Structure 1
């Protein structure tokens, strides 16, 4: 199209090459049940809470959000998904500010996942090495804990994901699907191992807790508070903030999905699978160890006593141990694999609206937005340096999760306005529920020290606060600068937000 046209061209050029399985696996990687079963939740639970009950409550409270994403994806199936919904309901300024902040928060999260990928490998190798008496594996585990190796391994893993996407867009989706299927298979096998040991669990697990040095004292039960529904509800924000709400991946690539119904499947099916895996995984842990033992280990040794390490520790079959360990790593890798795809689509969508340079919409012969992927790689490798300099400072960036909660609240408000305008009462009801829910989660994210936005004394973490503020400010400045630049060229980018982008 011409320089004075609203969009950069008449068609996005992206190919409708994403099938139903790819659509499902993309959001499954986004929600990442396997990482939730690792150390995202259990080390942080309060006394008296039961995780699997909180997982069921969290799933129920997220169903209205799934309806919102399914409904709007059916009406507006475009690259960028909820960025398009927000920017067309409100304006380009808010849409760009929110979407850019979300991408910066997500990139920081991906960088941390890439950096701590080596810690997951170390955990697997250490557990197998200690259980099977293979000292070399324990030695390798200790080596991988060094920051320089964590950086190099993280950069390599992320580079592989980027490389697949650059070579061919379809390969990027295949990478997400294959890694997700392997991860799910390993998770199911780990559950089977746990289920087979329910009858004599404490005998079977004794070697693991002994070699790890986490055997509880004889009077451990007296230190565990009785079950509390209030405490269980207190687990809900941890589950919700790190697992269920993250369903925007498949709608963000809707223009590439072969059928609109596949996008809807890609919202509800991953949510239900995630709910089933998280609930059943933790349910088996509680059934096996009992309430008092399980909560004692989670609260006191939660970074060692996990779903994955326990499953590995219940068997001396080395191939089986390795496969379950690979399953955990595949869950970690799937986060990076889906992240590469989704980051590129949000930036592509904003560039298509002329907010970012037109170069970010250019596709190579493989149908891939190569320059956007290159930008992603540079940004992530830069953020990967942060943990090398200061691990405690880097982990404080987990507190930026508040950006996601605010973002989803804005999406819910946009859905409410859309429902009101288009007389969709069910959408309006779902939106009201989710606005209240995300308001609650936002409050938790900024007041609960577990999420690193505030310190234990209630004061904001300066690194997290600065990161969150700058994410929004830079997004706003990018839009204003783009608007000024395009106006000088005779293009009013506000016009783009008065119509739906072409496919």
Structure 2
């Protein structure tokens, strides 16, 4: 999937068009063509839905304005969070189309997910080797080993993305999305924490504090 983000390769020739040419049947060609469009739309829709859940949850944690937690009485969904996500999605698709000729250029942002899972692996290792939580040796060893393997695999895949952008479709827009998400998260959390402490006397850092076992 990541290779689709290489606009120099997938503008005309990709596995959809190759399959259409190889089929030799007009009906099958149309089925493949329609399937390719719905495939792309499904991926974008899934990404939009997942992103809205983050906006919604962060608003509950007071990181984002509480307005984003408002549910539409008619549809029962966070309508304002959806509108913001729609604006961001349309902007990114437009930029991808203008600079790279295809919105699949955004697939290079898959690297962000790889880095996320790499962080999860590092967290598992730290928990496994740490002494803060009481657990059996078997569970501790399992966490440490699985975390180390996860970190190694995700680090290698991230390296592949960065070292061979012509193959995996790395581009500055995709990298900018990943970096922008990290920077936005840090800035939003910092500003929100300061505002909530000064205005309400609430430290939102408590939300992310580990609850000690009873």
Bucket of the pairwise TM-score, normalised by the shorter protein: 0.7 to 0.9
Question: Could you tell me the TM-score, scaled by structure 2's length?
Answer: 0.75
1:386 partnered with 2:95:
yes
Count of aligned pairs: 200
Residue 151 of structure 2 corresponds to 435
Counterpart Cα distance in 2 of 1:342 and 1:464: 18
Residue 497 of structure 1 corresponds to 208
Counterpart Cα distance in 1 of 2:164 and 2:24: 40
Q: CA deviation at 1:369?
A: 1.4
Residue 361 of structure 1 corresponds to 69
Once the two structures are superposed, the pairs formed by residues 275-290 of structure 1 within 5 Å of their partners are none
Question: Could you tell me the TM-score, scaled by structure 1's length?
Answer: 0.35
Counterpart Cα distance in 2 of 1:360 and 1:349: 9
SS at match of 1:390: helix
Cα distance per residue 1:118-176 (max 9 Å; x no partner): x6xxxxxxxxxxxxxxxxxxxxxxxxxxxxxxxxxxxxxxxxxxxxxxxxxxxxxxxxx
Cα distance per residue 1:416-471 (max 9 Å; x no partner): 344553442433322110111112222222222324658xxxxxx6x666555443
Cα contact 1:399–1:464 (8 A) shared by 2: yes
Q: Quick one: structure 1 residues 485 and 392, their matched pair in 2 at CA, closer, same or farther if it must change by over 3 Å?
A: same
Counterpart Cα distance in 2 of 1:452 and 1:384: 16
Following TM superposition, the consecutive aligned residue runs of length 4 or more in structure 1 with deviations greater than 6 angstroms are: 392-396
Cα contact 1:447–1:453 (8 A) shared by 2: no
Counterpart Cα distance in 1 of 2:102 and 2:42: 25
Cα contact 1:386–1:393 (8 A) shared by 2: no
Q: Pick from 72, 83, 98: which aligns with 1:374?
A: 83
Cα contact 1:360–1:371 (8 A) shared by 2: yes
Counterpart Cα distance in 1 of 2:203 and 2:96: 41
Q: Quick one: structure 1 residues 360 and 393, their matched pair in 2 at CA, closer, same or farther if it must change by over 3 Å?
A: same
Q: Supply the RMSD in Å over aligned alpha carbons.
A: 3.4
Cα distance per residue 1:304-356 (max 9 Å; x no partner): 2x443343334454333222222222221210121121011111121111111
Q: Quick one: structure 1 residues 375 and 333, their matched pair in 2 at CA, closer, same or farther if it must change by over 3 Å?
A: same
Structure 2 unaligned regions, length at least 5: none
Once the two structures are superposed, the pairs formed by residues 438-477 of structure 1 within 5 Å of their partners are 438-450=154-166, 451=168, 468-477=178-187
Residue 403 of structure 1 corresponds to 112
Higher relative contact order (CA 8 A, sep 6+): 1
Counterpart Cα distance in 1 of 2:24 and 2:163: 44
Structure 1 unaligned regions, length at least 5: 1-34, 45-115, 120-302, 455-460
